[in-house]
Structure 1
């Protein structure tokens, strides 16, 4: 009887094994494909010290399927939003300390996107967020709030904020635009 990766996966449940895109038996703990044709090869691999210690680490991390394209796309978009909102340049993702932090705290089979990938994805994500804002405020009554202030570098900042006027829903103010002004007409008297 010929063996398949699926059969071996059923024979060894809960052992950090999966099937990769190449239809190979893949060890999530070891980050490599393993020979599935001989049952003894799989058993030997599962008993190695490296597999045992790495699989223990994996079991402490929530079990999320990181192999799906949808999840990776969502993670990439969330990472872009987080880095942008935190004012962290995408290049920081190339630093080994940051990369090792992410790799140590995410499942090993998950691939961290490069800064170049994030830069290529940023315009599309930005456009989708703008479209979300337009959809959110279309056909609605909107309160426009204008606020003039100074930032941490003592620059004059003019902010435009929209709030949807709907008493049936909780509405969060949305910062629509920030404009840096060269001068203002306010004088200290």
Structure 2
């Protein structure tokens, strides 16, 4: 009889059962490594074994053995919906101090963080894919408050209409309901006698999930409104998905960029000097 292919849920649960609940967990869709705090490719058993043999995973296991079971759970088990607070704080600190995330790949710096925080240092790719977007989406002012800026413009044929800042509102939370309320309140400022819903034709925003949900919720009242998200965000998501499927190419490009990073300033400076010399010589010839 031909072999019956097992379901994804059964396969993932089998891996958890085989390698231990203290190593892996699953929600039925993905296999999650509790030690490394990452999703693991689990199409085949070989891919799971390959992850277990990596130095990063082995070091994580050794470090977890020296900790109390309760602390180990709190430090390393992070469900996909509940992002690690440590990773998020680390990303915010690096971005606010203009420190490149690739500095995390420095062995000395990585060991320093692990020694004094007793937490595993994440890869820069993990922070870039999962945490940088959160820091940018949750924009705050100098006092740490969430600010929503509502800008309006006139749609004209053949040219770009003028844009105006209609309202700036302090938000308690950045979610779809808060955005919907502040948008409705701002349009009440424009039409104090009553909002002309059919005159609202276009809603431009970024592609954050709560913005998409906010646009969907208010389209019931603004029936002629079309929601358009940032094209750059859409292309970025497509590019991130492509990178997942071509890890070797991704690593090659990252290594090449790191190779040029230290020489970039000197390279530009040398080219600038050459340009100035040529320009000076040219001006002398014309004089």
* TM-score normalised to structure 2 length: 0.28
Bigger proportion of residues as strand: 1
TM-score (norm 1): 0.38
Report which of the two has the higher share of helix.
Answer: 2
